[in-house]
Each structure stands twice: as C-alpha cells, then as structure tokens.
Structure 1
C-alpha cells in the first residue's frame, strides 16, 4: 500500500503513516518538555543570565516541533498533482472552519522568535495583562501576573495590540514609586528622603547607565514626588517598591513631613518601568 492514495474511495492515508506520525509527535513533545526543563533549571541557577538562557527555550521548541512537523508531513512533498489538490482542499476547509485563529497564533509565534519583541523572563504588558513572560508556545504566550495568576495571550495579539516591555531582555528594570505630600510640606526635605530611600534599598541597582531620579509634580490638592530607580533583578520590582514606600513614610512621620489627609490620595506604586 502506498503512503497516500486517491481514487474512487477518495483521499486516504495508510495506517502506517498515521502510526508513525503519532509516534513522532509524542517523542517531539516529550523531548521538548525535557529540554525546556533543563534550560529552565540552568536559568534559575544563574540569575544574571536567566533571561539570556531562557531565550533559547522557545527557539528550542520551534526547532523540535518544526522537525517533527517535517517528519510527519514530509510525504506530502512527494504527492501527485491530484493528491496535492485534495490536501489543499482539506487544509483550506480546516482553516475556514475555525483554524484561522490558530494559524494566526502560530505565525505570531514565528515572529516572536525572529523579531523578539519580548522573551521568556521579560516583564511585559500585552492587551491589558501585565506580568512576567514564563512561556512562549507555538500558539500563545504565558504570563504570570503579580498576583500569581497565569494568563495565556494568543500570539496573534501581536498583530492587533500594543506590547510594552519593561526591561527589554535585561535583568535590570526601572521601578517607579510615587509618594504624595501636602502642598505646604518641605519639598526639599521630602525629595531628599525619597532619594535616600531609593539609593539605600537592598534591591537597588545604580551605575552611570542606571541613575536614580527624583521628580516633583504639582497636582490640584497635593504634590507628587516620583522616584525612579532600577532593580538588579526584575523579580524584585514589587519588593523594591514596598521597601522604598515603607521607609519613606516612616521617615516622613519622624521628620514631620505632612501627607494629604483627605480620602483618595496617598502613596501610589504604578509599577511602570
């Protein structure tokens, strides 16, 4: 029996082809999971190189699954014109009946590997969801939010949504902390306190390319002191913001720096980088 046949009974595939395809797909899945686990373990053991190592996870998946796809669909390359026409009709019908979104997601996944708007380990916001990229698959990207919620965002969203990358592949990331003070507060002393809280945090990362910046913005009923600084490890984003906020408020209270007392105004951490 040939691998694929067309005739009075229509388009047929020999059982041996189906068995071989199933075996190849199972082996590819298990091998891909094994390589992903190895790379993830290596990445977690080297925080400074974590993002670089995890970059190879989606690339490895695409290579393994791409090879499996070739082995499964390789026989199609040797089909006759009539067989190719039959296969094309089946694929066209499949795409028309619901696989269009899946196909768009796969194309988006290929673009992620080639263009790299983000990679595993980055902190990103996609279509309103913010978190750390913990996986990039053929169809979807997995984010883990600050509340430890796992969100799967289809890769097709690259074509329709903006993507904000807070660290762009670097382990360091800017964190912004806003503190509100009363209009009559001593602004020089207050900014000095905020700056000191930033530079003395155990999470901060400071050098010539990663400075600490403190800005003052006038609002209608209060002033906002905005502190900007980098963390050495992007996973310390919220620990850093909490540390700076807690020590800043304690220093404000100790030195008599007034904060707004009416409801709705206080300390704001917007988490933007």
Structure 2
C-alpha cells in the first residue's frame, strides 16, 4: 500500500513539473512580454531621453561646426547623420528588449512581420529609410553640401532617417525624402568641399571687343575679396544669334557666399563695363516670338 502511494505521488509530482515546464515554455515563446506600468513608464522615459539626446547632438554638432576652423566645418557636420542613426538604432534595440522576448525564433518572427507590414503599408516610408542608409555610404549629399534635387536648390541643413532638410536661397526649409535618389538626379555643387564654383553670365553685342571683356572679367574676379585665388578662374565665350555670352567661372572662399559673391562680381563688372562704354545686345522681335 505504501509502495502504491509513493508511486502515485511520484507520478503526480512528475505531472506537476511537466505542466510548469510547459507553462514556462509557452511564456518563453510569447513574442510580447507582459505589460506593466513600470515597463510603460520606462518606455516613455527611453523615448523622451532619445529625443532629448537627438536635439542635444544636433545643437552640439552645429554649434561646434561654427566655432572651429572653417576648413573643418563640413567634416564635423557630416558626423551628424551617423550619430543620429546610432542613437535611433540603440533606442529601438532597448525598446524591443523591454517589450519583446528576443529569442532567435521571436526575432525572426518579428522581423518577418515588420518587413511585410513595411512592404505593404509603408512602402514609400521604408524606401526612404533604405535610401537614407544607402546614402550614408554612397554620399550623394552630406550636411553642408549645396545640392539641387528636382526643382529645389540649397544647402543641406540636416540628414534625418527619412529625409533631408534643404535651405533654399529664399530662406525656405524644404524637406526632401531620401527615396528621391532612386528617381531624381542629384546635383552636388561642392561634394564636401568648402568651395563651390559660381558661374556669372554677361551679355554683349557682337561688335564688342572680346579681348577687352575677358581682361576686365579676369581682373574683377582676381580683385574680389570673396575669390579663392588658389582655384582656377576661367572665362568661357559663346556666340548667340542676339550677341556674345561671357561666362565667368570662379570659386568663392566659402560656398555659403555664393550669391553675395555673384552680386559682388556683377556690380563691379558693370562698373568696369560702363567706364569703357561697352554695348549690350539688342533683342529683336521675330515671327513666333523674341530671338534667343
């Protein structure tokens, strides 16, 4: 009888242990962990902290870039996208570890689910994020570059996970998603360099002395306080039906001075042209519109 009771007890103990083990296994296989108030509070604090860190990093990098030697300004700004990406990735990993059981099977399941969701519901958003990651390595543009994408031209002020912010010459801040690099040509004026070529155009009548105009343009460029004299200065001449087009190609010391530099060149050149009484082209009306 005692032997029988001992046997029953052993079986009951085994069943109890087996049930607890099954419950534990099922708990481990759950993707989402049990939600508690503490976890929610921690999650909110993590998100707020990440947002604060991103703002601090933005202000610190921009502050530092404006106070170091000018030639290092753009290089410092180009660290900003990588720092932002690092903060975002660390934040996502911490949140996933807080709210999910990160076993190998669960990671595969979550990754597959997220991929499918992004593929169908957020196709354009996912495309922009992927393009932003690709852009970090291919570098079609960096913070501080002066680029033209579609109809917009200006300086790249920030490089986010989904888009860049472009400040135009009219002081407008334009947000352009990264996936534009798949379909739009990206024209980069300085590609990380401090200088960017400026092309200033001048128009004259056919009878104008070409050699005199060339000399005046070279003198104007060489005497401008904005000109980077170590870089080439070139005058290109094109003959048009209505007259002669002169293109003065030169570089300012800082790409930010592009339009101030162009204004300075134009003002000083016109003063020199006026002294020599150079004649400008005359546009005639012809059938179908003005002659170009």
Is TM more than 0.5 here?
yes
Pick closer, same or farther for the CA change 1:183–1:80 going to 2, 3 Å. Answer: closer
- Can you list the C-alpha shifts for 1:171-230, whole angstroms capped at 9, x where unaligned? 0111110100111111111111111111111110011xx111011110111101111111
Counterpart in the other structure of 1:183: 206
- Distance in 2 (CA, whole Å) between partners of 1:34 and 1:183 is 59
Matched, 1:20 2:14: no
**More helix, by proportion:** 2
With CA pairs under 8 Å and 6+ residues apart, which has the higher RCO, 1 or 2? 1
Equivalent in 50, 60, 66 of residue 38 of structure 1: 60
Q: What's the CA shift for 1:86?
A: 6.2
Counterpart in the other structure of 1:131: 154
Counterpart in the other structure of 2:234: 213
Alignment RMSD: 2.6
Native 8 Å contact 1:212 1:230 kept in 2: yes
Give the number of the structure whose alpha-carbon radius of gyration is greater: 2
TM-score normalized by the length of structure 1: 0.85
Equivalent in 268, 271, 275 of residue 250 of structure 1: 271
TM-score normalized by the length of structure 2: 0.80
Matched, 1:49 2:72: yes
Native 8 Å contact 1:11 1:86 kept in 2: no
Counterpart in the other structure of 1:149: 172
Equivalent in 252, 262, 276 of residue 231 of structure 1: 252
- Can you list the C-alpha shifts for 1:143-180, whole angstroms capped at 9, x where unaligned? 00011111111011122211111001000111110100
Unaligned runs of 5+ in 1: 265-273
Q: What's the CA shift for 1:56?
A: 0.9
Moved more, 112-121 or 127-136: 112-121
Counterpart in the other structure of 1:269: none
Counterpart in the other structure of 1:29: 51
Counterpart in the other structure of 2:226: 203
Unaligned runs of 5+ in 2: 1-23, 286-292
SS for the counterpart of 1:227 is strand
Native 8 Å contact 1:140 1:152 kept in 2: yes
Native 8 Å contact 1:54 1:121 kept in 2: yes
- Distance in 2 (CA, whole Å) between partners of 1:11 and 1:53 is 40
Q: What's the CA shift for 1:5?
A: 8.1
Q: What's the CA shift for 1:58?
A: 1.0
Q: What's the CA shift for 1:12?
A: 7.0
Native 8 Å contact 1:179 1:226 kept in 2: yes
Q: How many residues align?
A: 258
Q: What's the CA shift for 1:102?
A: 1.3
Q: What's the CA shift for 1:262?
A: 3.1
Pick closer, same or farther for the CA change 1:188–1:17 going to 2, 3 Å. Answer: same
- Distance in 1 (CA, whole Å) between partners of 2:53 and 2:215 is 55
Q: What's the CA shift for 1:25?
A: 1.9
- Distance in 2 (CA, whole Å) between partners of 1:105 and 1:13 is 33
Q: What's the CA shift for 1:112?
A: 2.1
Equivalent in 73, 77, 87 of residue 96 of structure 2: 73
- Distance in 1 (CA, whole Å) between partners of 2:103 and 2:282 is 77
Counterpart in the other structure of 1:172: 195
Native 8 Å contact 1:198 1:244 kept in 2: yes
- Distance in 2 (CA, whole Å) between partners of 1:26 and 1:108 is 26
Q: What's the CA shift for 1:20?
A: 2.8
